[in-house]
Amino acid sequence: AQTVTQSQPEMSVQEAETVTLSCTYDTSESDYYLFWYKQPPSRQMILVIRQEAYKQQNATENRFSVNFQKAAKSFSLKISDSQLGDAAMYFCASTTGTASKLTFGTGTRLQVTL
Amino acid sequence: NAGVTQTPKFRILKIGQSMTLQCTQDMNHNYMYWYRQDPGMGLKLIYYSVGAGITDKGEVPNGYNVSRSTTEDFPLRLELAAPSQTSVYFCASSYPNGREGRYEQYFGPGTRLTVT
């Protein structure tokens, strides 16, 4: 069975600083996608960034970037210039098999302090 | 577009009662999904559908049923509710083809269900 592991239950970062959230995954598939979703207290799941496994170039979206290490099955999220609005739960997820089903990690709660 | 909508937002059930969680999407997505999120955990797939009339089990299907009679709607039925079904339920949809954004899932706002 596919697994996604987030080993950091909680992280804290000061405003304007940079933080990296870790994620490792285990898959036997050759074609898959990886995602980071943000879940604020409102519970809404918001897509932060997406990485196609066949692309070597790391994805970036404004202040958010990933470090995708395919051989190591690692997919970390870097948040630069952290803002108070970045405080949330962050979930790493990968597609599983057909129909783009997602397997999620257990999440990392990010606190942003002044 | 309203995206993915779910009703109700909150519900309290007694043990043994039944209910249907509604999910509708207006993006003409083929794929739809139901996930549950237990406290402090990630989302787990309950059921999914790749099109009208086609459904299949996910990781945690026991105690639930689904149907997909139209592209837009994907209701989740709970029969004989149990305390273990206390959770937040998310519906999602996806447009899986060669277009940009393939495999991205769009989520509804969730339904918080408590079974007592």
The string of pLDDT tens digits covering residues A4-29 is: 999 999 999 999 999 999 999 998 88
The gap from C-alpha B21 to its chain's centroid, in whole angstroms, comes to: 8
What is each CA distance from A23 to A9, A94, A102, B17, B44, in whole angstroms?
11, 10, 15, 39, 17
Q: Do B110 and A43 touch (CB under 8 A)?
A: yes
Q: Do A43 and B56 touch (CB under 8 A)?
A: no
The list of chain B residues with pLDDT below 70 reads 96-102
Residue with the bigger pLDDT between A31 and B63: it is B63
User: What would the pLDDT profile of A44-98 be if each residue is shown by its tens digit?
Assistant: 999 999 998 888 899 999 999 999 999 999 999 999 999 999 999 999 999 877 7
* Site of tokens 């495999």: B103
pLDDT at B46: 97
The tokens of B72 are what?
């837009």
Distance CA B104, CA B116 (A): 35
Listed by number, the residues of chain A in 21-40 with a beta carbon closer than 8 Å to a beta carbon of chain B are 33, 35
pLDDT at A107: 96
Could you say which of B58, B105, B112 has the minimum Cβ distance to residue A100? Answer: B105
Cis peptide before B109 (omega within 30 of 0): no
Least CA distance to B51: which residue of chain A? A99
Neighbours of A9 (CB within 10 A): 10
Distance CA B69, CA A73 (A): 39
Distance CA B12, CA A97 (A): 34
Which chain A residues are Cβ-neighbours of B105 within 8 angstroms?
A: 47, 100, 102
Q: Do B105 and A102 touch (CB under 8 A)?
A: yes
Could you say which of A45, A95, A98 has the minimum Cβ distance to residue B90? Answer: A45
Which 3 state secondary structure label does DSSP give A100? helix
Neighbours of B49 (CB within 10 A): 21
pLDDT at A42: 92
Could you say which of A4, A35, A101 has the minimum Cβ distance to residue B45? Answer: A101
